[in-house]
Amino acid sequence: MKSALHNMNPAAKFIVVTICMLTMAFFFNPWTPLLMWIGVLLIQLLFSRIDWKLWILFMIPFLIMAFGYFWTTLVFAEDKSGPVVLSIWSINITEVQLNHALSLSFRVLAFSGLSLLFALTTNPVSFILSLMQQMKLSPKIAYSILVGYQFLPVLKDEFVQIQQAHRLRGAMQDKNAIRRLLHMRKILLPMLAGAVRKAERAAFAMEARGFTGEQRTSFYKVIRVGRLDGYLVSLFMLLLIISCTSVLYIN
């Protein structure tokens, strides 16, 4: 039960989460995204074992962003009709404006809730394998992404090394933020040059081991679609229907 979301087929999870997000874009009332967010939280509480501390850490920037959306929508609203509900410093805020602002902020929260559900319960490697096995992603691209993914720690080390090399030769960190941004090029170029060489080596190694990039029928690690995926997809669809029809019964 607690591991259901972790065991769900990654491609199915990806599609369902994307559908939920795209559907949210059609709704401009505060209730639909709010219900979606709460529902996603509940599903996560029941069917996953995620690190909630990490979840909160990821959520903080989005709370700030939701606030940004909130006040921007209030100030730069298009539709200023409806009765005035409150006024701050002689600015009148109408009901429509407030609803739109709340809706957009909750939408940010619902989006990040759905994304975190996906990010925290999905193994990256099985996600790519699942895209290849269930969604016909070309093996050439799929395995290349995996190669790139495996190089991440190497690239991180290289980044630190280049920085240290710069410091060793007396290139100081600039205080000026714009100059520092331009300085990024000096780190980016050696990293990219290194990436080109690594890509070449990896590609030769893959070809030397007989990788042709053709579509396959059998895989070493098989990702399956099962009954569990059916249940979870229906659960998400139910949540989507409940939150979309909320306008009809709340008021």
Partner 1 sequence: MLKSWKLKEVVLMSLFSVVFGIVYLLFLHVGNIWAGFIGPIAYEWIFGIWFIVSIICMYIIRKPGAAVISETIAAAIEVLLGNAVGPRLILAGIIQGLGAEAAFAATRYRRFDIWVLMLAGVGASVFSFIYGYFLGGFTVFSTGYVLLMFGIRIASGAVIAGIGGKAVVDGLLATGSLRGYPITRAKKGEARA
Nearer to partner 1, 140 or 183 (CB): 140
Structure letter (DSSP) for residue 50: -
Nearest approach, Cβ of residue 140 and partner 1 (Å): 5
Nearer to partner 1, 93 or 114 (CB): 114
- 8 Å CB contact between 32 and 244: yes
Q: Is 94 helix (H, G, I), strand (E, B) or coil?
A: strand
Q: Is 137 helix (H, G, I), strand (E, B) or coil?
A: coil
Q: Is 154 helix (H, G, I), strand (E, B) or coil?
A: helix
Enumerate binding residues for partner 1 (CB under 8 A). Answer: 14, 17-18, 21-22, 25, 28, 58-59, 61-62, 64-65, 67-69, 71-73, 76-79, 100, 103-104, 107, 111-112, 114-116, 118-120, 124, 127-128, 138, 140-141, 144-145, 147-149, 151-152, 155, 185, 188-189, 191-193, 195-200, 202-204, 206-207, 211, 213
Nearest approach, Cβ of residue 166 and partner 1 (Å): 16
Nearest approach, Cβ of residue 125 and partner 1 (Å): 8
Longest dimension (CA), the chain: 73
Nearer to partner 1, 1 or 88 (CB): 88
Q: What gap in Å lies between CA 162 and CA 228, rounded to an integer?
A: 47
- Which residue matches tokens 């090399």? 165
Nearest approach, Cβ of residue 212 and partner 1 (Å): 9
Q: What gap in Å lies between CA 45 and CA 68, rounded to an integer?
A: 28
- 8 Å CB contact between 146 and 127: no
Nearest approach, Cβ of residue 22 and partner 1 (Å): 7
Residue 93: strand pairing partners: 86
Nearer to partner 1, 7 or 138 (CB): 138
